[in-house]
Structure 1
Amino acid sequence: MKNNKWLLLMALTLVLSMFLAACGGSKDEEKPADGDDKDKDAATEEPEEKQHAKDEEGEPDAEQVLYLAESAAIPSVDSSIVEDQVGFNVLNNINEGLYRLNQENIAEPAMAAEEAEVSEDGLTYTFKLRDAMRADETPVTADDFVYAWQRAIDPATGSPYGPFMMSGVVKNATAISEEKMKVSELGVKAVDEKTFEVTLERPVPYFLSLMSFGTFYPLKEEFVTSKADAYATNSDSLLSNGPFVLTNWDGTSDSWTYVKNEHYWDAENVKLNEIHVNVVKDSATAVKLYQDGKLDRAGVSGDLAMQYRDDEEAVIQPETSVFYFKFNQERDGKETPLANENIRKAIAKSFEKEDMADVVLANGSLPANFLVPTNFTFDENEKDFRELSGDHLEYNVEEAQDHWKKGLEELGVESLDLEILGGDTELSKKMDEYFKSQLEGNLEGLTISLKEVPFSVRLDLDGNQDYDIQVSGWGPDFQDPISFLDLFVTDGTNNLMSYSNPEYDKLIEDSKGELALKPKERYEAFAKAEKILLDEDAAIAPIYQRGLIFLHKPHFKGLVDHPFGADYSYKWAYISGK
């Protein structure tokens, strides 16, 4: 599956010049209700076989109503504002962009009626829109895309992803985000009602796969402006153009419903009539609901993961999300102890990752000595990037203690009190306790306090850089190392920890420019950048690459999970043999 996606990107590279702009879907550290958070082979052989055997048998032959759980409430469903995985999952199922990831995870035309026309220099894309309607029976037009993209790049909107996804990609996006040009000067144009034209700063070989990402979805200006500040704050203030419509969501509720959108252009291929979702934060509750027939799919973790791993209804799903400690070097305008390189290296090398993956998580997750995940992106010879870049910041107590001693001496102190910011779910708390035990046990003089908060609160604390160490994670939105590595450039919108290294910045910038048409040299630059970020600077400390174990009812078929972008599409799901 992943090799197919790589071949698609390589084919695009032959047509276009090579430029890569980073984006990603920020993820919570676990998904205990729909799944949560080991060796590569264990995560990719028998488990995938086990999963796909469930999906493609039978025809819809029962009531097409599905019952699912999510790990957190919805922070936002405004496509210009969403920055979390729950929000992107919702958007992916109620809306649709020019392209959509299909069942093979290849971007294919969606609101676009056909493949885009690309200019010879690779800078201009022309999209012909299909005759598609929203749930209110109004047509989707080129103006809807112009408005949505301009709104996302407008500094007044405060979009976390607009500038991140468009800067250096769409013409004038960077200058607009820096308030040096007007929003109207963004390189997008409605040629006519059904023709949308995009002009790029530089050729972007995977640009079409970006078109499936939530930030680029169309918005009806009249509807958005009429709702004003109430837009997207509840299900009545939303307008869908995708397979489902969101209902029964008041903006703060821990439950919501997807209802089939009868006006969706491809409604005949949508089999489910309703999907009922409840927020379930702990695995034990999710499993009990599953066993009682109240959930069709439930994530299991920790002791339950060990217990249910070999269950006949268990599915192990490898993922491309990587989790790590973010070390905040500046808080409240003052430099923190984590600005000290030796302190960061000490912490990064002082906790046992295999035990974390095998015992605490126990769900197919891999210990991570890397940022760019394994079995995700491949070079022109189909060689995994991980083989090129190798391992970094491996567990080593002796080295950790040496760094710790040096760091304390450099700071002129004998001890440190630091806080770990994490989630408030069952598994998050278990992980945090493990970290506290490992770090305090291996680094004399370190005291760790734990701050465990809901995901939406953690997003706010992260945005304000109001933390010391944060358990954070990232899932890619397209298949390229830069989807991860661009996160940590100086002043990047997702940096939010005051890390800066000019050499690192130059390597990332070169990958977008002079090395763009040199795949071998470009990947070598990525490998060097990852080494700087981890081995040399220990800007972050990798923990694990997530695997998930689910209990999945045999009658629930056709679910499509995505290795980048939103987690799931329910468009092709159905109930059969119940």
Structure 2
Amino acid sequence: MNQKVGYTALSVLLTTSLFATACSNKSEETKTVAVSKPTKQVVNVTQTAEISTLDSTLATDSVSISAMNNVFEGLYRVDKNNRPEPALAKSYTLGPDKKTYTFKLQDAKWSNGDPITAADFVYAWKRAVNPETGAEYAYLLYDVKNAKKINEKQLSVDELGVKAIDDHTLQVELENPVPYFIDLVSSTTFYPLNQKFVEGQGKKYGLEANATLYNGPFIIKKWNHEQNLQLVKNPNYWDKDKVKLQEVNINVVKDTSTAVNLYTAKQIDRVDLTGELVSTYKNDATLKTYLNGRTNFLRLNEKNKVLANPNARKAISLSIDKKGIADVILNNGSVPADYLVPKELAFGPDGKDFRKTTSTYGHLDIKKAKDYWEKAKKELGVTNVTLEMLNYDDDSSKRVAENLKEQLEKNLSGLTINIKQQPNAQKLKLESAMDYDISLSSWGADYPDPMTYLDMFVTNGAFNQTGYSNPKYDDLINHAKTDLLYNLPKRWEVLKEAEKTLLNDAVVVPLYQKGTSYLQRPYLKGFYVYGPNTYKYAYIEK
């Protein structure tokens, strides 16, 4: 079959591959598949969930952000080393106060031919902090002058510290010097928006391919919800000469075995592996593994009477064998995490990894877990407890949830866990509404600083979603975001104390730092993943 997979053909293959999984010969699967190089610049891949939205102001999930990273662009984008590289910003100057940035913009166009101007950034950023928009990521802009007060309805949106000096000059005023601000502006919430188009689409904006306007390396040609997505090269992209791929076909495949069968059948060019499949392909020359800057954890909803009890939360935290989940259930390079801020993400003023200079918390201790649990039940006046665990509906998440259920029910007498599997978009809605007891969640860094994980859990934080409120914790985070930006060594120590406070309170239960094991065709070059997938520099080697 030709390397370019037709959607109808692929749909048939997705159905038949379920049967092939049961009938496949393992000894044959372990062989490296010989695949001739395709003749076109076309890549076929899979993802485990549907995009929730392409509205860059409202999107929060990793699946949507990965898509937006390829069809939109901000002032900067993240390179393969997780460092910012210029995108729509040709350059910037920083004023002597270290708080005023002036960006010079590229000559660039939207996919409809309209010029991209500084006013597009002003509109997008004001829209994000406008409380009527309801953007959960609005707090990412709180470093911009007056953003927080605007979002809290204390000031008019017109008082935001951002303005268009002219079409190609954007000026930004900050509340305080922010050492990671250039990293921050690569985040999707900082992308520009074409006001006329967005307001013309109304509530439809970002929910269909033709209800979205693009400015990145690719545009979306087809979007069949819960099935597939087709990206094609954007002819109006300012840096189009560096984009070699003509087409990227992305199919939603939630079952790992099905995705592997597609790879074995030469229908896709890259596949992620977990569990036994990693061992099956351990001798394959194309097998690669890397550690992500993403932590997976349990959120514990304190609106639930049981989980509002600190002893109950501590019991759950101490009763889970995380090593077994990482090494056996996943077996994909993931590592057990007794921490929230991941390894190899953030480096302090001394140049050392945050993770190597601080402690870990919530280690497995079944005896202590049982003691906490019995104390909690006594305080609550109950002998039996039933809790629901909200979860994604992909194959890997299912297996992790089933293992957690088994461990928690075994170690904590009288506890029953019911698992509730939901598609990505619906899970996010339930989590945002705090309509859950326990939720299997994950978080990837928006910028390389511990704050991207820690400021989620301040009182009433948009992504707190646990009901946690601790004035001491709020105070630590506030100092780290304001006055301590002038004293970076002290700020680093305060961030360590914040993580310690959060995890000792068992607000969340870290499980593992995500790793990825994958097979990839040798002819697919220049494709990289650090957080979102990036196809801009990918190409087929002929």
The alignment's TM-score, normalised by the length of structure 2, stands at: 0.91
In the alignment, does 2:207 pair up with 1:233? yes
In the alignment, does 2:134 pair up with 1:155? no
Q: Distance in 2 between matches of 1:380 and 1:229?
A: 44
Query: Counterpart in 2 of 1:352?
Result: 321
Aligned partner of residue 120 in structure 2, secondary structure: helix
Q: Distance in 1 between matches of 2:532 and 2:117?
A: 27
Q: Distance in 1 between matches of 2:184 and 2:346?
A: 16
In the alignment, does 2:105 pair up with 1:140? no
Unpaired runs of at least 5, structure 1: 1-32, 34-59
Deviations 1:520-561 (A, max 9, x none): 3222211111111112x1111110000011111111110122
The correspondence for 2:47, drawn from 54, 58, 70, is 70
Deviations 1:472-499 (A, max 9, x none): 1110011111111111111111101100
Q: Distance in 1 between matches of 2:460 and 2:186?
A: 26
Query: Counterpart in 1 of 2:293?
Result: 320
In the alignment, does 2:259 pair up with 1:286? yes
Q: CA RMSD in A?
A: 1.5
- Displacement of 1:102 in angstroms is 2.6
In the alignment, does 2:131 pair up with 1:166? no
Question: Contact 2:49 / 2:226 at 8 angstroms: preserved in 1?
Answer: no
Aligned partner of residue 257 in structure 2, secondary structure: helix
Q: Distance in 1 between matches of 2:348 and 2:118?
A: 36
For 1:122, give the aligned amino acid. Answer: K
For 1:381, give the aligned amino acid. Answer: D
For 1:509, give the aligned amino acid. Answer: N
In the alignment, does 2:360 pair up with 1:391? yes
Q: Distance in 2 between matches of 1:411 and 1:371?
A: 29
Question: Contact 1:62 / 1:576 at 8 angstroms: preserved in 2?
Answer: no
Q: Distance in 2 between matches of 1:510 and 1:155?
A: 24
- Displacement of 1:199 in angstroms is 1.2
Unpaired runs of at least 5, structure 2: 1-13, 15-36
In the alignment, does 2:230 pair up with 1:257? yes
Structure 1's consecutive aligned runs of 4 or more residues displaced over 6 angstroms after TM superposition are none
Aligned partner of residue 421 in structure 2, secondary structure: strand
Q: Distance in 1 between matches of 2:234 and 2:362?
A: 48
In the alignment, does 2:129 pair up with 1:125? no
- Classify 1:292/1:420 alpha carbon distance in 2 versus 1 (closer, same or farther; 3 Å): same
For 2:403, give the aligned amino acid. Answer: Y
- Displacement of 1:290 in angstroms is 0.4
Aligned partner of residue 249 in structure 1, secondary structure: strand
- Displacement of 1:74 in angstroms is 0.8
Deviations 1:140-194 (A, max 9, x none): 0111111111111111211111x22112x11111111112222122111111111
Query: Counterpart in 2 of 1:574?
Result: 539
Query: Counterpart in 2 of 1:212?
Result: 186
Deviations 1:430-460 (A, max 9, x none): 1111111101111111111111111111101
The alignment's TM-score, normalised by the length of structure 1, stands at: 0.86
Query: Counterpart in 2 of 1:464?
Result: 433
For 1:307, give the aligned amino acid. Answer: T
The correspondence for 1:452, drawn from 397, 410, 421, is 421
- Displacement of 1:281 in angstroms is 0.3
For 1:571, give the aligned amino acid. Answer: K
For 1:574, give the aligned amino acid. Answer: Y
Aligned partner of residue 68 in structure 1, secondary structure: strand
In the alignment, does 2:458 pair up with 1:483? no
| Equivalent runs, 1:1-16 vs 2, <5 Å | none
- Displacement of 1:263 in angstroms is 1.4
Query: Counterpart in 2 of 1:28?
Result: none
Greater RCO between the two (CA within 8 Å, min separation 6)?
Answer: 1
The correspondence for 2:245, drawn from 272, 284, 291, is 272
Q: Distance in 1 between matches of 2:285 and 2:429?
A: 41
Query: Counterpart in 2 of 1:49?
Result: none
- Displacement of 1:386 in angstroms is 1.8
Question: Contact 2:49 / 2:394 at 8 angstroms: preserved in 1?
Answer: no
Question: Contact 2:177 / 2:486 at 8 angstroms: preserved in 1?
Answer: no
Query: Counterpart in 1 of 2:6?
Result: none
The correspondence for 1:221, drawn from 195, 202, 210, is 195
- Displacement of 1:79 in angstroms is 0.7
Q: Distance in 1 between matches of 2:66 and 2:459?
A: 29
Aligned partner of residue 439 in structure 1, secondary structure: helix
Aligned partner of residue 155 in structure 1, secondary structure: coil
Query: Counterpart in 2 of 1:554?
Result: 522
Q: Distance in 2 between matches of 1:183 and 1:497?
A: 29
The correspondence for 1:80, drawn from 50, 53, 57, is 57
Aligned partner of residue 113 in structure 1, secondary structure: strand
In the alignment, does 2:375 pair up with 1:375? no
For 2:498, give the aligned amino acid. Answer: A
Aligned partner of residue 296 in structure 2, secondary structure: strand
- Displacement of 1:253 in angstroms is 4.2
Query: Counterpart in 1 of 2:399?
Result: 430
